[in-house]
């Protein structure tokens, strides 16, 4: 039985963990704390969480739990994940796992030393849609890969949104644009080199839009993240090879509807897979990793590689790497 303690009362928590746990006999949420105890109590009452603690420290050290879910703002991922690992708890941490690659490396190394599970919560990676995409690429159905283009655009209109605050890990690449970077990394099967990046900045050092050009061997890659108020929702990947093309709409949340279009040697086919939530598949993978040692696609090592690419993107765009001045 995985018994979770939850840090904070984040908006993502019901979809990411509470609802999946409701349909999973091997996992439950036992403990929660938030900066405001009254908020934590209201959240606990609404979601039938029995124990409310006074502090995050009380959660990570609580004897009732053996795992911690960390959906706090990104600069709080490193210290509280470290605290949870030191307390002997497995950790499911929201992305981006850390502010930068050095922080992610420390977290990953500690998890290994403690023989604990550390999972970067890229839930899309565990859905059958992405498994199908990866299978098409790896089996060579598209031939020799030539290019991968990936975008995740979603408007953010609230100027007080946490993504607009540099000191809270803000910037589109840390929260929205990290998805297409992860998609292309996993599809290419090798770590890309950042060739260039261009950004549109809103609040100081906060990228509202960031576009990259990368290379992975002979594969040309572009990604973009966009949270400008004028953005229209897009979550798309296009992979081209010398035999054909694969286009996928809504990679990020297939449960909300998706479409995979494959054109190979002049023949076109269209596919959809099941709409079980990606978060449920993520919970399955976390449980399997804890209970039987099954490997994760988005473990600490993958998070280090992911954050290394993000660091290089910010450098290429002339923006500071997150967390170095905090």
Question: Is it true that the peptide bond before 96 is cis, omega within 30 degrees of 0?
Answer: yes
Task: Say if residues 83 and 90 touch (Cβ distance below 8 Å).
Answer: no
Give the per-residue pLDDT at 305.
98
Question: Does 326 have pLDDT greater than 70?
Answer: no
CATH class of 128-275: alpha beta
DSSP 198-252: EEEESSTT-EEEEEEEEEETTEEEEEEEE--TT---EEEEEEEESSEEEEEE--S
Q: Which residue in the block uniquely carries the two structure tokens 């949870």?
A: 84
- Parallel, antiparallel, or unpaired for β 244-249 and 118-120? unpaired
Residue 192: both structure tokens together: 């890309």
Cβ atoms within 10 Å, residue 190: 9
- d(CA 105, CA 121) in angstroms, rounded, equals 16
Question: In 116-152, which positions are buried (b, 16+ CB within 10 angstroms) versus exposed (e)?
Answer: bbbbbbbbbbbbebbebbeebbeeeebeebeebbbbb
pLDDT digits (tens, 9 = 90+) for 11-54: 999 999 999 999 999 999 999 999 999 999 999 999 999 999 99
Residue 68, CB-side half-sphere exposure with 13 Å CA sphere: 33
Instruction: Measure Cα distances from 6 to 40, 87, 168, 173, 215 in Å.
Output: 10, 14, 19, 25, 38
- d(CA 122, CA 120) in angstroms, rounded, equals 6
Cβ atoms within 10 Å, residue 33: 25
- d(CA 222, CA 211) in angstroms, rounded, equals 7
Give the per-residue pLDDT at 307.
98
Residue 319: both structure tokens together: 């923006």
For the chain, how far is it from start to end, CA to CA, in angstroms? 37
pLDDT digits (tens, 9 = 90+) for 211-245: 999 999 999 999 999 999 999 999 999 999 999 99
How many degrees, rounded to 5, is the angle at CA 299 between CA 1 and CA 207?
Answer: 120
pLDDT digits (tens, 9 = 90+) for 70-94: 999 999 999 999 999 999 999 999 9
**pTM of the predicted protein model:** 0.97
pLDDT digits (tens, 9 = 90+) for 280-314: 999 999 999 999 999 999 999 999 999 999 999 99
| Position 325 confidence tier, pLDDT thresholds 50, 70, 90 | confident
pLDDT digits (tens, 9 = 90+) for 243-276: 999 999 999 999 999 999 999 999 999 999 999 9
Candidates 175, 49, 126, 130; CA nearest to 280 is 126
CATH topology of domain 2-122+282-298: Rossmann fold (3.40.50)
Give the per-residue pLDDT at 1.
93
pLDDT digits (tens, 9 = 90+) for 152-187: 999 999 999 999 999 999 999 999 999 999 999 999
Length of the chain as a residue count:
326
Contacts of 13 by beta carbon, 8 Å cutoff, 6+ apart? 6, 43, 69, 71
pLDDT digits (tens, 9 = 90+) for 131-148: 999 999 999 999 999 999
| Position 196 confidence tier, pLDDT thresholds 50, 70, 90 | very high
DSSP state at residue 190: S
In the chain, what are the domain boundaries?
2-122+282-298, 128-275
Instruction: Measure Cα distances from 57 to 6, 12, 65, 277 in Å.
Output: 11, 21, 13, 31
């Amino acid at each position: 039985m995985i018994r979770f303690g939850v840090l904070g009362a984040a908006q993502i928590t019901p979809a990411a963990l509470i609802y999946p746990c409701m349909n999973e006999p091997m996992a439950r949420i036992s403990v929660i704390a938030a900066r405001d105890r009254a908020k934590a109590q209201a959240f606990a009452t609404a979601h039938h969480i029995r124990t409310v603690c006074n502090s995050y420290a009380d959660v990570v050290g609580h004897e009732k739990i053996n795992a911690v879910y960390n959906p706090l703002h990104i600069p709080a991922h490193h210290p509280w994940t470290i605290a949870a690992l030191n307390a002997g708890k497995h950790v499911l941490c929201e992305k981006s796992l850390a502010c930068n690659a050095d922080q992610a490396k420390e977290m990953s190394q500690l998890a290994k030393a403690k023989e604990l599970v550390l999972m970067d919560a890229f839930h899309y990676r565990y859905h059958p849609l992405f498994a199908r995409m990866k299978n098409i690429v790896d089996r060579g159905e598209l031939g020799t890969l030539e290019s991968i283009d990936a975008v995740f655009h979603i408007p953010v209109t609230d100027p007080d949104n946490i993504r607009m605050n540099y000191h809270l890990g803000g910037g589109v690449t840390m929260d929205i644009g990290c998805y297409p970077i992860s998609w292309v990394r996993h599809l290419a099967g090798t770590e890309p080199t950042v060739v260039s990046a261009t950004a549109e900045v809103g609040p100081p050092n906060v990228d509202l839009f960031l576009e990259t050009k990368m290379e992975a061997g002979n594969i040309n890659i572009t990604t973009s993240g966009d949270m400008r108020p004028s953005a229209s929702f897009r979550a798309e990947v296009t992979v081209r090879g010398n035999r054909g093309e694969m286009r996928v709409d809504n990679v990020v949340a297939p449960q909300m509807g998706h479409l995979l279009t494959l054109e190979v040697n002049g023949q076109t086919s269209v596919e959809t897979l099941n709409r079980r939530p990606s978060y449920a598949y993520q919970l399955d993978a976390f449980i399997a990793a804890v209970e039987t040692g099954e490997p994760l696609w988005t473990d600490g090592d993958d998070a280090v590689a992911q954050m290394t690419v993000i660091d290089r993107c910010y450098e290429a765009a002339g923006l500071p790497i997150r967390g170095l001045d905090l």
